[in-house]
Amino acid sequence: MEHHESSAASRAASMERLVKEVRSAGNCSHPVRLRGELINLATGEIRPSSLRVACKDRRSVHCLSCSALYQADAWIQVAVGLNGGKGVPESVATHPQVFLTLTAPSFGPVHRRTPSGRCQVREYGPCPHGRSLRCRLRHDNNADVLGTPICEECFDYSRAVLWNAQCSKLWNRTVQEMRRRLKVLATKNDTESNHVSLSYLKVAEFQRRGLVHFHVVLRLDGGGDQISPPPPWLSSSMLANIVSTTVPHVHWTGHDGHDVVWGEQFDLADLTSSGEHHRRIASYLAKYATKTTDDSLGLARRFRSRADIEHAQVEPHRMKLALTSWDLAQRPEFAPLRLAHHAHALGYTGQIITKSRHFSVTFASLREVRADFQRSRSDSDPTLAHLHYDGRGYDDPRAPHAAEMFHRMKVELRQEAAARRRQVAAAVEVDQ
Ligand SMILES: [Zn+2]
Ligand SMILES: [Zn+2]
Ligand SMILES: [Zn+2]
């Protein structure tokens, strides 16, 4: 009996320790362990310390809790760039703004969903490999075959990977050219060219065919170091005109001697002064912020060897793109593209979210504000920490699972509270 009680008590104690540890790391699944000493600045007392801090990984396959925070920050970045707030003037909502989606060219026919529903109805074939390139099927939205080549040999894997590897540079050239055209327009309208500027935030998304798409919010500002309104003669249709005349013409000779260009399809929408629209765009972009190349664990980390790729749990078309990236890396002319390093991203070398300096607040500043807020709520004395890296994760093997569970509970509680608030607001409205 006694033995029974003490083991129950020790189980309870170990559970309590687990909850405390996971909570203190912000429900992170794989926190960073730090060890060293803490100095109490009020009393001068020094004591050894070991603590776990959140991993801050943006990818939801790695850490639910940290990726949720990242997604919230991404949402704020976009929303603030469109509507102002958090130090960005609210007048930005009236600046000319457009939403642009840029695609990659075709590197061979793939299974797809079309407005008519049917996949590929035009007869191109038979292809040089003797296959028909026609597919009359209507594919389901989540059919595995979507995005995969109709003839694998017709799909140009090398050029697809090289396009991914060079599309960030293509974007930089596109922005440069748009800014040049904006300055020309300013001069024509008797405005000094440094009184207009173009800022943006762009999010990369991997399509099913393994090529990168860019979703971009573009905004016109005035000149100077602070965000200011652009001259009144500048309209969103002028911005749309600059974009739509620039995108089809930007090109340069890539590392393989082929021209690097955008796909023929691009989408452009006016965003100026449409609050509801802004909210949707922010949610839409933030959704991509936490994804990996295909949202699986197979492509979530860098590969160390070719065999690593061959053994990864990855769909065959994407595996072939990753292997192509690895193999092209062996050729000296592609050395600057660091293709082995980026094989898990199918050659793509850029960040998922990038923005020009003036568009909005930064991730770092949002984190800083959160840390300040937490410090202001804690009533302990200020401390100075001398800490060094001491590995990753928890000692208790149950902890990562517990972290996910606590995170989900927190989200559910928050949603319930929001639903209750809405109910109360609706009831008040009915009473009146
Ligand atoms: Zn984490
Ligand atoms: Zn098909
Ligand atoms: Zn073929």
Instruction: Give the model confidence (pLDDT) of 254-264 as tens digits.
Output: 999 999 999 99
CA of 312 to the centre of ligand 2 (A): 26
Give the mean model confidence (pLDDT) for residues 306-317: 94
Q: Which ligand is nearest to the CA of 132?
A: 3
CA distances (Å), origin 245, targets 99, 170, 253: 15, 15, 20
Calculate how far, in angstroms, residue 87's C-alpha sits from the geometric centre of ligand 2: 49
How far is ligand 3, taken at its centre, from the CA of residue 128, in Å? 5
- Pairing type for strands 32-40 and 46-53 reads antiparallel
Count: domains in the chain: 1
* Secondary structure of residue 91 in the 3-state scheme: helix
* Residue 60 pLDDT greater than 90, yes or no: no
Provide the token pair at 236. Answer: 């969103």
Digit-coded pLDDT (tens) for 14-24: 888 889 889 88
Domain span holding position 344: 64-107+156-363
Ramachandran quadrant class, 103 (left: phi over 0; alpha: psi -120 to 50; beta: rest):
beta
Ligand with minimal distance to 22 CA: 1
Cβ-in-10-Å burial (0-12, 13-18, 19+) of 371 comes to exposed
Q: From the CA of 25, which ligand is nearest?
A: 1
Ligand 2 ion local residues (Cβ < 5 A): 111, 119, 135, 137
Most distant pair of Cα atoms in the chain: their distance: 92
Residue % of the chain over a pLDDT of 70 = 96
Q: Within a domain: residue 381?
A: no
Between the alpha carbon of residue 417 and those of residues 71, 314, 412, the distances in Å are 20, 39, 9
pLDDT in tens, 319-338: 999 999 999 999 999 999 99
Position 113 in a domain: no
CA of 295 to the centre of ligand 3 (A): 29
- The SS3 of residue 88 is strand
| 122-148 pLDDT, tens digit each | 766 688 888 888 888 899 888 889 999
Residue 424 lies in a domain: no
pTM of the predicted model as reported, rounded to 2 decimal places: 0.85
Cα of 388 vs centre of ligand 3, distance in Å, is 56
The pLDDT, as a whole number, for residue 310 is: 95
Tell me if 29 sits within 8 A of 62, measured CB to CB.
yes
- Give, for 377, the enclosing helix (H) or strand (E): helix 363-377
- Residue 401: φ, ψ to 5°: -65, -45
- What are the percentages of helix, strand and coil residues in the chain, rounded to 5? 45, 15, 40
Domain-embedded: residue 416:
no
Q: Is the residue at 343 inside a domain?
A: yes
The pLDDT score that the predictor gives to residue 125 is 65
113 Cα to the center of ligand 3, angstroms: 20
Q: Check whether 2 has a pLDDT greater than 60.
A: no
Ion ligand 3 residue ranges (Cβ < 5 Å): 127, 129, 151, 153-154
Residue 206 lies in a domain: yes
The tokens describing 68, both together, are: 């949720």
Q: State the distance from the centre of ligand 1 to the C-alpha of 376, rounded, in angstroms.
A: 23
User: What is the phi/psi pair of residue 143, to 5°?
Assistant: -65, 135
**Å from CA of 53 to ligand 1 middle:** 8
What's the confidence (pLDDT) of residue 274?
Answer: 64
What is the model's pLDDT at position 292? 72
Residue 402 lies in a domain: no
31 C-alpha to ligand 1 centroid (Å) = 6
Q: Which of 1-15, 50-64, 74-88, 300-314 has the lowest mean pLDDT?
A: 1-15
> In this structure, which ligand is nearest to the CA of 147?
2
- For residue 155, give both structure tokens: 């799909």
Question: Which among 10, 54, 9, 37 is positioned nearest to 400, based on CA atoms?
Answer: 54
pLDDT at residue 57, as a whole number: 86
Is 101 a member of any domain?
yes
Q: Indicate whether 308 pLDDT > 90.
A: yes
pLDDT(282) > 70:
yes
Is the predicted pLDDT of residue 379 greater than 80, yes or no?
no
Six-digit token string for 312: 């990864």
How far, in Å, is the centroid of ligand 2 from the Cα of 137? 6
